[in-house]
Amino acid sequence: MSSLSFTPSTNKLSREDYRRQKDLEAARKAGTAPAEQDEEGKDINPHIPQYIAKAPWYLDTGRPTLKHQRIHEIEEKEKKDNNEWYARGLRLPATTKFRKGACENCGAMTHKTKDCMDRPRKTGAKWTGQDIMPDEIIQDIDLDYDAKRDRWNGYDPSEHSKIYEEYEKIEEARRKIKANELDKQSTTELVKKTGDRIATEFSSDEEEDDEDKYAEKSDMPGQKVNTKTRTTIRNLRIREDTAKYLRNLDINSAYYDPKTRSMRDNPNKEKGAEDSFYAGDNFVRYTGDAPNMANLQLFAWQAYEKGTDVHLQANPTQGELLHREYLQKKEKLKDTSKDSILAKYGGEEHLNAPPKELLLAQTEQYVEFSRTGRIIKGPERAIPKSKYEEDVFNNNHTSIWGSYWADGNWGYKCCRSFIKNSYCTGLAGIEAANSSNLLTVSEFKNDEEFSNKKSLVEIHIENMKKSKSKNVDDSNKHIKRKNLGEGDIQLDTKKLKKALEEEDRRIKQIKQMKNDINMDDRKRPYNSAYMGNNDKLDSEVTEEELEAYRLKKQSYEDPMANYVDEEDM
């Protein structure tokens, strides 16, 4: 058991040794086992806590001890008073010869040439050997921790007596000057009144007034001494700071109260509180934790009026907890009352409506644009979201429905399928579609219309020429137009011919105006690009003129005129 009296903290005990150590400590506390002894043979009280009995790692000696809890005895060299201090200004007797290793400038051995504080000589003492300066006295004084940091260490108290003597001389001279002034004043009054009586009395109040005069002259910057009440009043503004009323010289800016020297509003409202150097006294009052503190103080006053013993300065923690509990109950009561009103009257669906910004497409956010439409100041324009799901591919498709068009039908581009919501067949579907197209081409290969690949306009013009060559009666002078969106319409051939000539004339006029570079667009007649004859602007467009415009319309205006399917080639 004695072997477990102490084990170093660096050794890790096993489970068995730890149990035996705990049993030994319990036995020592019960008095059945002898107590531990320190290095001096004294018993250590087993009831002392471990954090007191255990020495720290930097004082651990490897054996039980309480020496680290006792006051260390002062060493002999620390016990005796050390009155030694640096001998300032004292020097050793000077030598007559230059010594090796001394300063080349003055000849002293206690410093180097670069550290010499004497005037640089034209020819140093090393070469002249004359006027060699004495060595300084360098003392090695061993100071403890407190002595190194004592600001009055080494101060001679006798030096303070010289200050008293200086002030006493000044006070004595002042009294003599005061006495001479009183003598002159009394002599003048004596001559005026009588020659027999001498007035040499003066009160002690005059001396106090004289001291007040000196006090007025010795004002500190930023302070004002009231000689009557003998109080120092701190000025409200440091003179080096810019005055508040100089922040903005406009008379219509924030109001400045000269009595309290306060300007509550922001003098430069156009800059904003965050960008300006001074934003008014209320800006500090209404920012940070100041509003929360004001609300907490208001809650404490109201709670005290209703009988609750709350004082924010006496017990701020209690006030904070009560205020937090009050806010939680208030929110809970608000939600309860809201639910009860909705349950009674209904209308909950109106609360879930989208915000007004989305309904009206209007916001009050300031946005500044450049000439090119780029946003200079303000939030970026939000990207509109569709109610439909985007980039969602069903049934193994890699493209959406409507990405492919052929023969008037829409389909999927990935598989050339025209059946919506069909399963994607990939390249196999494309090859099947191409093979079906090849069969269709082989069937109509002998067809002249298919081989020439004439457009509908060309076919229509040929039919018109054929109809002109034939002799028709006046009763059969009307032709039919089909499949143009309006149904069967009767067209007059003579009027159609005249409309075609006018359309040709209008197209030539437009081309001539485009080729004329020198022509100013502002001199162009109104609606000249639409119609050649301005006298027909008020008349309605006939079916023959509309047919002529469709026949003469250039091919690049047709969105499908230049469409070529690469897979069909």
Could you read off the pLDDT of 516-535 as tens digits, one per residue?
A: 655 566 666 555 555 444 44
In a domain, 106, yes or no: yes
In the chain, % of residues over pLDDT 70: 71
241 CB-near residues (< 8 Å, 6+ apart): none
- Write down the pLDDT at residue 476: 45
Does residue 438 lie within any of the structural domains?
yes
Q: Are residues 378 and 484 in the same domain?
A: no
Q: Are residues 101 and 27 in the same domain?
A: no
Q: Last residue of some domain: 382, 416, 437?
A: 382
Residue 162: C-alpha distances to residues 158, 173, 174, 218 (Å): 7, 17, 19, 23
* CA–CA separation, 198 and 206 (whole Å): 19
What is the overall mean pLDDT for the chain? 77
Q: Answer yes or no: are the C-beta atoms of 416 and 422 closer than 8 Å.
A: no
Mean pLDDT of 101-115: 93
Q: How far apart are CA 495 and CA 528, in angstroms?
A: 22
In sequence order, what are the residues at sequence separation of 6 or more whose Cβ sits closer than 8 angstroms to the Cβ of residue 5?
Answer: 24, 36, 64
Q: Average pLDDT of 193-202? A: 47
How many other C-beta atoms lie within 10 A of the C-beta of residue 247?
20
Domain encompassing residue 98: 94-139
Whether 314 and 374 map to the same domain: the answer is: yes
One domain, residues 21 and 113: no
pLDDT of residue 485: 43
H or E stretch covering 291:
helix 290-305
Q: pLDDT tens for residues 336-385? A: 999 999 999 988 888 887 777 677 767 777 888 888 888 888 887 777 77
Instruction: Tell me, yes or no, whether 130 and 105 share the same domain.
Output: yes
Regarding whether 339 and 321 lie in a shared domain, the answer is yes
Claim to verify: residue 524 and residue 510 sit in the same structural domain: yes
Q: Domain boundary residue among 139, 166, 194?
A: 139
Is 458 contained in some domain?
Answer: yes
Chain centroid to CA 306: 43
Whether residues 440 and 478 share a domain: the answer is: no
Residue 297: its pLDDT value, please?
93
How far is CA 69 from each of CA 25, 37, 285, 515, rounded to the nearest angstrom? 21, 15, 53, 110
Residues 470 and 520 in one domain: yes
525 and 563 share a domain?
yes
Report the pLDDT value the prediction gives residue 507, as an integer from 0 to 100: 83
The total number of structural domains in the chain stands at 5
Which range among 183-187, 467-471, 472-476 shows the weakest confidence by mean pLDDT?
Answer: 472-476
Is residue 441 located within the same domain as residue 344? no
Handedness of CA 99, 100, 106, 109 (dihedral sign): negative
Answer yes or no: is 176 within a domain.
no
**Could you tell me if 486 and 428 lie in one domain?**
no
Angstrom distance (rounded) from CA 112 to CA 126: 12
The CA distance from 513 to 522, in Å, is: 12
Give the span between the Cα atoms of 319 and 312, in whole angstroms: 6
Last residue of one domain, picked from the residues 85, 114, 139: 139
pTM score, whole prediction:
0.26
The pLDDT assigned to 198 comes to 41
**253, part of any domain:** no
Task: With cut-offs at 50, 70 and 90, classify the pLDDT of residue 10.
Answer: very low
Compute the average pLDDT of residues 4-22.
71
In a domain, 41, yes or no: yes
- Residue 498 in any domain: the answer is yes
Whether 202 is in a domain gets the answer: no
